[in-house]
Amino acid sequence: MENLPHENINSTRVMGVDLGQARIGIALSDLSGILASPFTTISHKDGSEAAITAIVQIVETEQVAEIVVGIPNSLSKANSLAGDSAKTFLSLLAERTSAKVLGFDERFTTVLATKKLRDTGHDSRSMKSKIDAMAATEILQNYLDTRGA
């Protein structure tokens, strides 16, 4: 069996962030930047500052070089309150980390994450704690796929 060259494999991860109403979903890529997986959820009932601090800690411990924040865009591309809030969060996060921070369209990611959880036998109660991390995974995987990883 022939050994494959490892020179093109990254040593950093990409993070996906889904801003839910009560929780922030976090997903991480593998080190090659090809596959997204759910990582955790963070409560942001205490405000954005505590959540940003928690995200920055994950960035540092998990070798994250890039953060993709889901921005809710309406189908008509009209600005929404949720979209404005996500853009503000993105700006605050960018000020606190050396990782590259960018926004990415999150349309339908929560719907798709909900469908996947239901298809795997989760009920509404068990989905509640997982939905934001799964939506972050959808955002991140969509981003990884479109950048040609």
Q: Which regions of 30-145 does DSSP assign to beta strands (E)?
A: 36-43, 64-71, 100-105
Instruction: Give me the sheet containing 23-29, strands edge to edge.
Output: 36-43, 23-29, 13-19, 64-71, 100-105
What does the mean pLDDT of the chain come to?
81
Rg over CA atoms, the chain = 16
CB-based burial, 50-85: b 16+ in 10 Å, e otherwise: ebbebbbebbeeeebbbbbbbbbbeeeeeeeeebee
Residue 38 near residue 9, CB atoms below 8 Å: no
Top-confidence residue, 58 or 107: 58
Task: Please tell me the distance from the alpha carbon of residue 15 to that of residue 5, in angstroms, as a whole number.
Answer: 25
pLDDT category of residue 127 using cuts at 50, 70 and 90: low
pLDDT category of residue 6 using cuts at 50, 70 and 90: very low
pLDDT category of residue 141 using cuts at 50, 70 and 90: very high
Tens digits of residue pLDDT in 46-89: 678 899 999 999 999 999 999 999 988 765 555 576 667 888 89
> For the whole model, what pTM was predicted?
0.79
Cβ of 108: how many Cβ atoms within 10 Å?
Answer: 13
Instruction: Examine the pLDDT at 92 and tell me if it is beyond 60.
Output: yes
Residue 44 near residue 51, CB atoms below 8 Å: yes
Task: Please tell me the distance from the alpha carbon of residue 5 to that of residue 101, in angstroms, as a whole number.
Answer: 30
Domain boundaries, the chain: 13-146
Domain 13-146 falls under CATH 3.30.420.140: yes
